[in-house]
C-alpha cells in the first residue's frame, strides 16, 4: 500500500466518517479532449488513492456516491462502461481491500444490476463481512429520498415513527454518524445523497475534479474541518 503523509493535526482531526460525491469525471475528460469513459477510468484510480489514504489516516468509515437511482437516465453505453469499471475494480482490488481488514458495504439496491455484477458484489460483501477495520460504503443504485421512504416504512411496521426509529432503519445504520460530506467539481448541491445523515454534517465543496482528488486533498479537507465549531443546533 502506498505511503500517505501523516495528518497535520492529529488522527483524522476528530473525523470518523467522511462521505464524498465523486463528481467531475466527464468534465475532466472533456477538458483534455478525451473520451468520457477515460474520465470514469481515471475516477476509479482516484477511488483507489482516496480509500487507501482514508484507511491510513484512521477513518472509521468512508462512503462514496458511485451510481445514483437517477444515473439510469444516462446513455446505455456510458452505463455499460461504468458497470465494466465496477467489475474490474472488484476483481482487481478485492484482495487488497480484504487484506487490509476493510469491510465493504453497499447502500442502495444493487440487486437491480446484471446478475454477473450482483454476483461479484455479493462475493465481495461476504468475503469482507468479518473485517473489523474501516468500512468502505459504496452507494449503488442509491437515492436518499428512496432510502428515507424505505426506512420510514420499516419503522412504521415496528411501532411509532420517530427520528430514532427511522435512523435505525437507514442503509447506514451500522456506520458512525456522518461528520463531513465533500463534493468535488464545483457543484454545490447534495444530489439526493445522504440527506438524512447530513443533517448536522459539515460540508465542503471543492472545484477539484474527482480524477484529480487524492490524499493531499482529503487531508486538506480534514484539516479545514478541524477549524470549524460544530454546535449541532446549539449556541
The ranges assigned to domains in the chain are: 14-143+180-225
How far is 209 from 196, CA to CA, in rounded Å? Answer: 26
How far is 87 from 30, CA to CA, in rounded Å? Answer: 24
- Of the residues 23, 93, 171, 179, only one is catalytic, namely 23
Active site residue 207: no
How far is 163 from 155, CA to CA, in rounded Å? Answer: 10
pLDDT tens for the chain, residues 1 to 235:
333 333 333 346 789 999 999 999 999 999 999 999 999 999 999 999 999 999 999 999 999 999 999 999 999 999 998 999 999 999 999 999 999 999 999 999 999 999 999 999 999 999 999 999 999 999 999 999 999 999 999 999 999 999 999 999 999 999 999 999 999 999 999 999 999 999 999 999 999 999 999 999 999 999 999 998 877 776 6
How far is 4 from 121, CA to CA, in rounded Å? Answer: 28
- Of the residues 71, 100, 131, 192, only one is catalytic, namely 71
Active site residue 23: yes
Nearest to 65 by CA among 94, 37, 106, 29: 106
What dotted CATH number matches 14-143+180-225? 3.40.1180.10
Handedness of CA 34, 39, 45, 46 (dihedral sign): positive
Cell of 134: 474501516
Residue 7: CA count within 13 A, CB half-sphere:
22
How far is 2 from 222, CA to CA, in rounded Å? Answer: 19
Provide the whole-model pTM: 0.92
Amino acid at each position: 500500500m502506498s505511503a500517505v503523509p501523516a495528518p497535520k493535526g492529529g488522527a483524522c482531526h476528530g473525523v470518523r466518517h467522511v462521505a464524498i460525491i465523486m463528481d467531475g469525471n466527464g468534465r475532466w475528460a472533456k477538458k483534455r479532449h478525451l473520451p468520457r469513459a477515460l474520465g470514469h477510468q481515471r475516477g476509479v484510480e482516484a477511488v483507489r488513492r482516496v480509500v487507501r489514504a482514508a484507511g491510513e489516516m484512521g477513518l472509521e468509515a468512508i462512503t462514496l456516491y458511485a451510481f445514483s437511482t437517477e444515473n439510469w437516465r444516462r446513455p446505455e453505453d456510458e452505463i455499460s462502461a461504468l458497470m465494466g469499471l465496477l467489475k474490474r475494480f472488484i476483481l482487481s482490488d478485492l484482495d487488497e481491500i480484504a487484506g487490509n481488514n476493510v469491510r465493504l458495504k453497499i447502500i442502495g439496491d444493487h440487486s437491480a444490476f446484471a446478475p454477473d455484477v450482483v454476483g461479484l458484489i455479493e462475493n465481495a460483501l461476504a468475503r469482507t463481512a468479518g473485517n473489523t477495520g474501516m468500512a468502505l460504503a459504496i452507494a449503488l443504485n442509491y437515492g436518499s429520498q428512496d432510502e428515507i421512504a424505505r426506512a420510514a416504512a420499516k419503522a412504521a411496521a415496528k411501532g411509532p415513527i420517530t427520528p430514532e426509529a427511522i435512523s435505525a432503519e437507514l442503509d447506514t445504520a451500522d456506520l458512525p454518524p456522518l461528520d463531513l460530506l465533500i463534493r468535488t467539481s464545483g457543484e454545490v448541491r447534495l444530489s439526493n445523497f445522504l440527506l438524512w445523515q447530513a443533517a448536522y454534517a459539515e460540508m465542503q465543496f471543492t472545484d477539484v475534479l474527482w480524477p484529480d482528488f487524492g490524499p493531499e486533498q482529503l487531508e486538506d479537507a480534514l484539516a479545514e474541518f478541524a477549524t470549524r465549531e460544530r454546535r449541532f443546533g446549539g449556541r
